[in-house]
């Protein structure tokens, strides 16, 4: 069985790669596609586990704070992938920064877990 940190790193990595490829909604693509919703759901579930379970129990420790940060970033990335029409414009414009911050969390998780 895989450790949960590895699973979270994989979810963050998949989210970073896919979110970087998704184009904004246009007249030709008025709604999010099924695969957009699939990746958004994956990030929503992983972010929920990080925030509501791990971070809530370990907020006093470094990894509790990292779980809170990465979970919130996964929630934001999920909302951006669902491409809700009511998202504030500043958040839509901040998408590259959100993805960059999630990539930094992914790197920190991966480096810490796999460095010997």
What is the tens place of the pLDDT at every residue in 34-62? 999 999 999 999 999 999 999 999 999 99
Tracing tokens 């491409």 back to the chain, one arrives at: 83
Q: How confident is the model at residue 27 (pLDDT cuts 50, 70, 90)?
A: low
What is the tens place of the pLDDT at every residue in 1-21? 889 999 999 999 999 999 999
* Domain ranges, ordered by start, for the chain: 4-109
For the chain, give the percent of residues with pLDDT over 90: 77
pTM of the model: 0.92
CA pair distance 85, 72, nearest whole angstrom:
20
Tracing tokens 């920064």 back to the chain, one arrives at: 97
| Residue 27: exposure state from Cβ atoms within 10 A (0-12, 13-18, ≥19) | exposed
Q: How confident is the model at residue 84 (pLDDT cuts 50, 70, 90)?
A: confident
Q: How many CB atoms lie within 10 A of CB 87?
A: 14
Higher pLDDT residue, 28 or 91? 91
């Amino acid at each position: 069985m895989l450790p949960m940190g590895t699973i979270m790193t994989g979810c963050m990595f998949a989210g970073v790669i896919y979110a970087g490829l998704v184009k904004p909604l246009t007249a030709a693509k008025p709604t999010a596609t099924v695969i957009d919703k699939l990746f958004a759901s994956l990030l929503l579930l992983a972010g929920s586990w990080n925030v509501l379970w791990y971070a809530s129990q370990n907020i006093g420790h470094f990894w509790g704070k990292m779980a809170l940060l990465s979970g919130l970033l996964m929630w934001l990335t999920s909302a951006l992938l669902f491409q809700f029409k009511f998202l504030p414009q500043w958040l839509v414009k901040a998408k590259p920064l959100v993805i960059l911050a999630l990539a930094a969390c992914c790197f920190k998780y991966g480096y810490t877990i796999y460095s010997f």
